[in-house]
A and B are shown apart, each in its own frame.
Chain A
Amino acid sequence: MNVFSKLIYDIGRLWGKYWGSYLNGVKNTLILAVVATAIGVVIGLVCGILNTIPCSKNDPLPKRVLLKVIRFIVRAYVEIFRGTPMVLQAVFIYYGLPYFSNNALRFSSVWAAAILVVSINTGAYMAESVRGGIISVDPGQTEGAMAIGMNHFQTMVNVILPQAFRNIIPQIGNNFIINIKDTSVMFIISFTEFFAFHQYITGVNNLYFPSAAIEMVGYLTMTLIASFLLRALEKRLDGSDNYELVSEDQLVMAAGTYNHPDRGTPFDERNPEYREKVRQELKYGRPKGDR
């Protein structure tokens, strides 16, 4: 028990002294993860649209060549950024830009570099998830949209991507949670996220384990809240299981001119109001003044 009380004491000490730093780290980690995941999803959706532009033999040659080039670029992007470690990509881009431009260009803030790296990394993964999401939507949906005259872009934005998006929310959640954790490698370009503060703090006082315990609890809390929120979003997007029948007429028409199979005209015995009126009449007799 001695060890545990010591741990609690140490954690209390650390927290008491450095709680501002820890919370600042949490804030930076969350902002980076949210922004980069959002941008990554947009990159993924754009890649998905570009990858699925239909190409038929009837199209003019320049269009076909252009489509081939676009597909090649998207493919190369996905393979390169999926196939190398993010920590290396960060170093590569952060130091590569000044190196190549003779220090003329450099990242004005480490924020921009971190967001860029995590976004394009997430985008590479999301491009494949979006492709899977698009494939999973019934081809009949595309035909239905084409049959009413929508072009590829309209079909994608109005019909396919909303359904694909719903299908890939679990994937987006995966990426978001991975980003919360893996943005910790951004300490390599001295981005001060949650884990970077652990390194600074333990560098001062050597309390590695108590600080790691704080980090563990912190990361787990963030990811648990994230997955809870994503579940809630999924539920919301699915919409209500029930729907309301619209009983009154949306188009106001003169009495007797509308005709609905389940409802009939106002003078028809199938009409509920008429039936009710007859029932009332039989019960109480015909009201005065109504003939």
Chain B
Amino acid sequence: MADMILEIRHLSKSFGSHEVLRDIDFTVSKGDVTAIIGASGSGKSTLLRCINLLEIPTSGEILFHGKDVTGKGVNAPEYRSHVGMVFQSFNLFANMTVLENCVRGQVKVLKKSKAEAKDNALRHLQRVGMAPYINAKPRQLSGGQKQRVAIARALAMGPEVLLFDEPTSALDPEMVGEVLAVMQDLAAGGMTMLVVTHEMAFARDVSTQVVYMSEGVICEQGAPADVLEKPQMQQTKDFLARFRKG
């Protein structure tokens, strides 16, 4: 594993006495598309937020290129600029236009020139099909459009990994497709992605690795064909059966 980007070791997270994550272990290599599936409340989103240090893990290590980022004295903002995140609720900056949303971070965090940042932002906005909307404010866009801008904003920072926290769960059904299409395009382009999702078709067709979580632990992980078609654990079977029915 020469191109190991993220290595999660014995990660645990508690909110007070409530243990949300227990002893999570897995690795992400360059180009991996990891789908994290599981019932609501199984800790998937918390895991993703821990990886981005939006939540501070209670114990365990997160190694980014072999370096632990959970210890004291780590520059969290610097680390986060290498790890993009796309939220369920978009979290586009409401006070900026679409273009400014994608430019501001590059200028302030990466210290790029305005012209260079704009050029780069336009390239990514074009990739997600939002280039015509650069002058719009987030409140004027549909959910699917907002999420595509959010993806462009994350991409514009040039991240090594992109984390997706249920990117299609807040969308109307007819808008899910446009966002999934963009994600599929990214995966095809070799982007390393970690996707918390309820879209089983996406997990099956696009991901290279599937992680099934239940009650704060990883029950099963492996190639999508193995986990989704031939699950070994009873919980996984039950979960997938519910999905097929529903």
Q: Provide the residues of chain B in CB contact with A258, threshold 8 Å.
A: 126
Is the CB–CB distance between B108 and A154 below 8 Å?
yes
**Nearest CB of chain A from residue B90's CB, rounded to whole Å:** 8
Q: A140-B89, A251-B123 are in contact. Are A243 and B137 (CB under 8 A)?
A: yes
In the complex, which residue of chain A has the Cβ closest to the Cβ of B75? A151
In the complex, which residue of chain A has the Cβ closest to the Cβ of B86? A147
Q: Provide the residues of chain A in CB contact with B126, threshold 8 Å.
A: 250-251, 258, 260
Which of A56, A163, A239, A260 is the one whose CB lies under 8 Å from B56? Answer: A56
**A57: interface (CB < 8 Å):** yes
In the bound complex, how far is the Cα of B119 from the Cα of A241, in angstroms?
Answer: 26
The residue in A57, A159, A163, A249 that gathers the most chain B C-beta atoms within 10 A of its C-beta is A159
Is the CB–CB distance between A149 and B91 below 8 Å?
no
Q: Provide the residues of chain B in CB contact with A148, threshold 8 Å.
A: 80-81, 84, 105, 109, 153-154, 157
Q: Provide the residues of chain A in CB contact with B79, threshold 8 Å.
A: 149
In the bound complex, how far is the Cα of B137 from the Cα of A163, in angstroms?
Answer: 13
Which of B97, B109, B134 is the one whose CB lies under 8 Å from A154? Answer: B109
Bitwise, B3-38 to A at CB < 8 A (1) or not (0) is 000000000000000000000000000000000000
**A256: interface (CB < 8 Å):** no
Bitwise, B102-144 to A at CB < 8 A (1) or not (0) is 0011001110000000010011001001011111110010000
Q: A148-B157, A250-B122, A251-B126 are in contact. Are A245 and B132 (CB under 8 A)?
A: yes
In the bound complex, how far is the Cα of B82 from the Cα of A58, in angstroms?
Answer: 21
Q: Provide the residues of chain A in CB contact with B87, threshold 8 Å.
A: 140, 143-144, 147
**A244: interface (CB < 8 Å):** yes
Interface of A is mostly: loop
Which of A56, A149, A243, A245 is the one whose CB lies under 8 Å from B105? Answer: A149
Query: How many residues on B have C-beta within 8 angstroms of the other chain's C-beta atoms?
Result: 45
In the bound complex, how far is the Cα of B94 from the Cα of A163, in angstroms?
Answer: 8
Q: Provide the residues of chain A in CB contact with B133, threshold 8 Å.
A: 243, 245-246
Query: How many residues on A have C-beta within 8 angstroms of the other chain's C-beta atoms?
Result: 36
**A131: interface (CB < 8 Å):** no
Q: Provide the residues of chain B in CB contact with A163, threshold 8 Å.
A: 94-95
Is the CB–CB distance between B93 and A246 below 8 Å?
no
Q: Which residues of B, 23-80, contact A by the 8 Å Cβ criterion?
A: 52, 54, 56, 72-73, 77-80
Q: Which residues of A, 153-208, contact B by the 8 Å Cβ criterion?
A: 154, 158-159, 162-163, 166
Residues of A within 8 A of B (CB): 56-60, 138, 140-141, 143-151, 154, 158-159, 162-163, 166, 239, 243-247, 249-251, 258, 260-262
